[in-house]
Structure 1
Amino acid sequence: MQRAAPLRLRPFSVPRRLLAVLAVLALALTGLTTLAPPARAEAGLTATFSSSGSGSSWTGKFVVANAGTAAVDTWSLEFDLPAGVSVSNHTHGTAQVDGRHVTVTPAYYNARVPAGRDTEPYSYTFTGSGPMTAPTGCLINGEKCDGAPAVPPQAPAGVTVADTTARTVTLEWNEAAPGDFPVTAYEVLRGGSVVAASATTRATVRDLTPATSYEFTVRAKDSRGNEGPPSAPVTATTVDPATDTVPPTAPGNLRTTDVTSSTVALRWDAATDDKRVAAYDVYRGTALATSVPADTLTTTLTGLTPATRYDFTVRARDAADNPSPAGNTLTVTTDEAVGEGGYAKVGYFVQWGIYGRQYFVKDLDTSGAAARLDVVNYAFANIDPRNLTCLNGVTKGTSPDPQDPNQGDGAGDAEADYGRAFPAGQSVDGVADDGWGKLRGNFNQLKKLKAKHPHLKILISLGGWTYSKYFSDAAATPAAREKFVKSCIDMYIKGDLPEYNGAGGPAVAAGIFDGIDLDWEWPGSPDGHPGNHWSPEDKANNTALIAEFRRQLDALGGDHKLLTAFTPADPEKIDAGWDLKEIFKYMDFANVQGYDFHGSGSDNSWEPHRTGHQANLYPDAQSPYPDDFSIDGAVQHYLDAGVSPRKLTIGFPFYGRGWQQVADGGANGEWQSANGAAPGQFQEEAGTRGYDNLTAMVPGMTVHHDTQSVATYGYTGPNGQWWSFDDTWAIDRKTAYIREKGLLGGMVWEMSGDLANGTLFNALDRGLP
């Protein structure tokens, strides 16, 4: 059997043509930045305030000192301004002022504080206006600036038993008085063990034994995790079921009051009981989703998957734990994550496009694509080969040898991501980067693009052809998965970027990325990049990794975060690495590969000796391969496995794959002999040209349309070049197929290949209104 095409998501090797950036040492940094909650302080870190001057304008200074035995790599300072005081002219630090609360991050040159040293002579200072009074509530990396232990909250008072059933006890109490930090949670303890927790002054202890006496205490916790002393104990006895054997009636009229892509709000009519209804249990299918008190006839279920059908029922339960019959079954389908009932359009923007391609985030806007795209996938983020975490903060190119098994190890481009200072002419809003801001480069331009197009979702794509080597390792165990996922969410969703050339820091990229796109090529298969790690256990581990991403993304709260994946067209690769009955419980949708079915790369290791369609819609009857790939064959494989069509987009190539010295064979070069890859758009990328470059730089090419397989190709004549690509003819027919099949939409690899006037994307947009 012919070996499947490598199914690359990008060419073999992408050079990093890094441009020199002017290094500016600015001793006065002003402006605003968005910060994440600070980390806990290292032992010995303190901040001391002093002031000088007089009158209504004076100078305040904080000296950060490290009395510990190890260097501290960065610090964050928080304080509250006294009434009537305002601050300006921040020096040696960047400040965010929110009312009277000020949060400061250091300049890049004074962030690191060696053991036994302080930040002098570059300590953070400001100009104060108003009474010369010291700030209050000073915190350094989340701890008290004077280094003293935090005073915990006091014990809650007034703990009482609010309700008991056969297996639960509900307690209530008064708010605890805070210590140094506000109270944010309470814990219920039994015998020293935590048995319930709550953010309010009420909690229910579950899974107790009927007719049994229990003693509980309650303690408060503050925003820094400091625990207060326990309250006075309270005793409760669970109900004896023998005292009540009559169940409640079934709740009626279960209905929905609101549906989103990830939530369903439910309401029902009350049940009755000969004694009292104690609670309502809400089921999703046969699984208990939540329980609510008897005085609550509504709930909102969260963490659901978009475009998914769910069945809900509700049962009443009395104090003796007698369950009622289930009420009516309510079937609800959640909204789609993107597309809004129409068709979604997803486009990849490549990190390295700003170099040889000279394609900038601004071009997404000026071409009109950003206004019509639903999702932009930013490609790619790498995996740290040692720590098995998301990798950034480095500028290291890939090996020029596409067969090098270590080609992508440790590679990355922080310069392009958030270090490069774009001039005004390359900026989305026409404003140049200042050269020393904490956020520059493509990330800052994406932030500006979202501000201009608020509907647009931006995802960080992890992996790709060259960066998938360590996915198998990162997914191999529960601990490895949890660590990897947390690192990616911290870096890209929370925005904690590593320091790079004065850029980066806590939360500097917060709010840019709306989710994660997984581009593991390929789990469970040896046919990925040379040297890729893989295992027969990859399929199960891939499912577990996707579930872990969903769990941690949902735990963030707030708006639903998208989770998507680039998935293969080859049925063997699908079956080897993707559990189609499980993964869509967690994933919003999949971008199914619709290209790279045939081709020849720079090293002629793929299919150098015969031409072939790289993106045909249907199998070609003239294909000499016994098991030829097609978009329809791939889509049917997903649908046959029970995947909802509204969970699938198909990929459109905005580039061509070509061969040289191609025989005519009476078929205009179609499926004919060749002598390797045709010259490419870039010297190191033979056999590949963007559509704009292909149409402009391959003279004498006649375009042909294979109406049976729905494939476009171009031929320059006997012993000439032969190219396979999508044009508007092919896109028109493929978008009609998407509409016919009821699929979610289309995905583009990648946006820089289009003509400046957006010829291909306009065709995609017309076909997917």
Structure 2
Amino acid sequence: MLSRTAAALAAVTVAAALSAPAAQAHGRAPRLEGQRVGYFTQWGIYGGFSARKVQTSGQAGRLTVINYAFGNVSAEGTCFEANAAGVGDAWADYQRPVGAEESVDGLADAAEQPLKGNFNQLRKLKAANPQLRAVISLGGWSWSRNFSDAALTDASRKKFVSSCLDLYLKGDLPQLGSAEGGRGAAAGVFDGIDVDWEYPGGGGDPGNVVRPEDGRNYTLLMQEFRRQLDALGAKSRTHYLLTAAVPANEARADRLEVAKVARSVDWLNLMTYDLHGSWETLGPTDHNANLYSDRSDPAAENRGYSADRVVRHYLDKGLPPAKAVLGVPFYGYGWTGVPAGAEHGLYQPATGLARGGSLPYNRIKDLPGTVHNDWLHGATWKYDGTDFWSYDTPELLTRKARYSRWNGLGGVMVWALDNDDAQGSLVAALDKGLGRTGR
């Protein structure tokens, strides 16, 4: 017992040393302005990303919330953990032993620990960065199939919400044939729930269960989450976060009772990206996430869409500005066989997709080509004479963060942290735009 206590104390000491600015270690660090929400993908570890890189890149010290993506919803309408391809990855979540070289605090997981993997690393990130909270995000594109069933009735909503709180907030993890897990094993890791139902009423993965009443049931589900989160929080004098990721598409947004949902949530993460992309295989080339609308946009679908237009739509539907968090992409879409036209490849036909159609910023930045900036419409792209890439540069992200601040919005949300470079340049750019204040 003494050795484990000593190890825990050492972990905290090393974590404090890793937490960057010396001022922060002495309690004089400036307070972060606005919410800075970054998605950490469960599967990122298989590509070499880790919570340690969130720390060493400086991302962790500039974020307020990490959304862990994703938790799945079972056919029985519950939150659950499993080890099955396409269903769940408990191994990544809390079973995988993390070595010293990959650990946030430089200490390897011990064999007897009931909590390992990403969940334990999130706990260490929070210890090293007192301003940081972690939220479990449920669903996403691939795991929204059963939301409609889970939200269908009062009984199903109560059952679903209760199961999510037991699993993620109370931390009662199944052991799944291993020593990891058990009652309370993950207690304290997560500070709330993010609902990423894509999408109530349809438009998501073709296999999703969809009903006309999904929009109304979505409201009731969020109200049930708020009730149970508040009841749990009252016992420990804790406010648990409730957020949701909501679509940029206006028709999908109109299925939501935005003003009613707003009363239940701390904020909504607006997915103000994917306005155009690789599904438009032959073009015309267009912007992934332009800030302002362009009247000359020739697109057949989502013509004239922009982040600002989406924000205004949600505000008009009753979302308070302080509960609107602007989504920004750390990735881009690419086309090939693109003629220059009048605007360096913009709004031109293509013969196909470049390099699979999508790449993270940390790869696009090193591709050949010239970066072009449309200041009027808040968009950047790279063009090399044949390949066209629509993506956000650090300078554009700083501008978007300022847009959020100047319009009284709640902050910014990032998909996803592993697409940034090793120096955390994109998160740093957002930090620059949002600003800081002294304590």
Q: TM-score, normalised by structure 2?
A: 0.89
In structure 1, the partner of 2:375 is: 707
- The aligned counterpart of 1:349 is 40
Structure 1 partner of 2:23:
none
The correspondence of residues 299-314 of structure 1 with structure 2, limited to 5 A, is: none
Q: Indicate the residue corresponding to 1:361 in structure 2.
A: 51
- For 1:34-49, list aligned pairs within 5 A: none
Code of the residue aligned with 2:371 in structure 1: it is V
Q: Higher strand proportion, which one?
A: 1
- Paired residue for 1:689, among 359, 377, 391? 359
Instruction: State the shift of 1:736 in Å.
Output: 2.3
- 1:328-362 deviations in whole A, cap 9, x for unaligned? xxxxxxxxxxx989322111111111112x11011
Q: In structure 2, how many angstroms separate the alpha carbons of the residues matched to 1:732 and 1:421?
A: 37
1:399-431, CA deviations, whole angstroms, 9 ceiling, x for partnerless residues? xxxxxxxxxxxx111111001111101001111
Tell me, what secondary structure is at the counterpart of 1:581?
helix
1:567-596 superposed Cα distances (whole Å, 9 cap, x missing partner): 1112111111x2112011110001111211
**SS of corresponding position for 1:519:** strand
SS of the residue 2:69 aligns to: strand
- 2:243 corresponds, among 564, 570, 585, to 564
Is 1:757 the counterpart of 2:420? The answer is no
Match of 2:395 among 729, 739, 756: 729
Quote the Cα distance in structure 2 between the aligned partners of 1:647 and 1:637: 14
Does structure 2 retain, via aligned residues, the 8 Å contact 1:713–1:724?
A: yes
Structure 1 CA distance, aligned partners of 2:431 and 2:34? 9
Specify the alignment match of 2:257 in structure 1: 579
SS at match of 1:451: helix
- Look up the match of 1:430: 106
Alignment partner of 1:383 out of 56, 59, 73: 73
Cα deviation 1:433-483 (Å, max 9, x = unaligned):
123421100001111111122221100000011111111111011111111
Deviations 1:75-128 (A, max 9, x none): xxxxxxxxxxxxxxxxxxxxxxxxxxxxxxxxxxxxxxxxxxxxxxxxxxxxxx
- Residue 721 of structure 1 and its aligned partner are, at CA, apart by 1.6
The question of whether the paired residues in 1 share the 8 Å contact of 2:331 and 2:361 is answered with yes
Give the Å deviation of 1:675.
2.7
Q: Give me the whole-angstrom Cα distance separating, in 2, the residues matched to 1:659 and 1:614.
A: 12
Tell me by how many angstroms 1:678 deviates: 1.7
Q: By how many angstroms is 1:619 displaced?
A: 1.1
Alignment partner, residue 61 of structure 2: 371
* Higher percent of residues as helix: 2
Relative contact order (alpha carbons < 8 A, sep ≥ 6): 1 or 2 greater?
2
Q: 8 Å contact 1:566–1:592 — kept in the other structure? A: yes
- Partners in 2 of 1:437 and 1:532 — Cα distance? 37
Structure 1 residues 309-324: aligned runs within 5 Å: none
- Compute the displacement of 1:707 (Å): 1.9
Q: Is the 8 A contact 2:62 2:428 kept in 1?
A: no
Aligned equivalents of 1:758 and 1:341: distance in 2? Answer: 16
In 1, distance between residues paired with 2:172 and 2:396?
42
1:767 aligned partner: 433
State the alpha-carbon separation in 1 of the partners of residues 391 and 111 from structure 2. Answer: 40
Alignment deviations for residues 271-330 of structure 1 (CA, whole Å, 9 cap, x no partner) = xxxxxxxxxxxxxxxxxxxxxxxxxxxxxxxxxxxxxxxxxxxxxxxxxxxxxxxxxxxx
Shift in Å, 1:758? 1.4
Deviations 1:616-675 (A, max 9, x none): 001122211263311111111111123211111101111111122223223321111113
Query: What aligned pairs does 1:124-203 form with structure 2 within 5 A after superposition?
Result: none
What is the CA RMSD across the aligned residues, in angstroms? 1.8
Partner of 2:227: 551
Q: Is the 8 A contact 2:32 2:62 kept in 1?
A: no
Listed as ranges, the matches of 1:432-447 within 5 Å are 432-447=108-123
- Consecutive unaligned residues of structure 1, counting only runs of 5 or more, are 1-27, 33-338, 399-410, 601-605, 680-685
Does 1:397 pair with 2:73?
A: no
Task: For 1:439 and 1:342, locate their aligned partners in 2 and report how far apart those are by CA, in whole Å.
Answer: 32
Quote the offset at 1:397 in angstroms: 2.2
The residue number in structure 1 matching 2:331 is 655
- The code of the aligned residue for 2:292 comes to Y
For 2:32 and 2:56, the matched residues in 1 are separated by 27
DSSP-derived class of the 1:472 partner = helix
Give the percent of matched residue pairs that are identical in Structure 1 and Structure 2.
48
**Which residue in 1 is equivalent to 2:200?**
523
How far apart are the structure 2 equivalents of 1:674 and 1:768?
37
The 3 A distance-change label for structure 1 pair 397 and 676 is farther
Shift of 1:31: 5.9
> Following TM superposition, by how much is the alpha carbon of 1:740 offset from its aligned partner in structure 2, in angstroms?
2.1
Larger-gyration structure (1/2): 1
Q: Which moved more, 1:736-745 or 1:375-384?
A: 736-745
Indicate yes or no: 2:96 matched with 1:420: yes
Q: Structure 1 residue 692: deviation in Å? A: 0.8
Question: Does 2:310 match 1:642?
Answer: no
Tell me which moved more, 752-761 or 509-518.
752-761
Give the whole-Å Cα distance in 2 for the aligned partners of 1:546 and 1:520: 11
For 2:25, the equivalent position in structure 1 comes to none
Runs of 5+ unmatched residues, structure 2 = 6-29
Amino acid aligned to 2:246? T
User: Once the two structures are superposed, what CA deviation does each residue of 1:509-564 show, in whole Å capped at 9, x if it has no partner?
Assistant: 00000000000011112x11121111110010000000000011111122000000
Contact 2:172 2:185 in 1 (8 A): yes
* Aligned match of 1:590: 268
* AA in 2 matched with 1:445: Q
Q: 1:741 aligns with which of 396, 407, 432?
A: 407
Contact 2:339 2:348 in 1 (8 A): yes
Contact 1:344 1:768 in 2 (8 A): no
Query: Could you say what secondary structure the match of 2:49 adopts?
Result: coil
Q: Normalising by structure 1, report the TM-score.
A: 0.51
Give the distance between the partners of 2:99 and 2:229, measured in 1 at CA. 35
User: 1:678 is matched by which residue type in structure 2?
Assistant: A
Does 1:482 pair with 2:158? yes
CA distance in 1 between counterparts of 2:263 and 2:171 reads: 27
Could you tell me which residue of structure 2 aligns to residue 507 of structure 1?
184
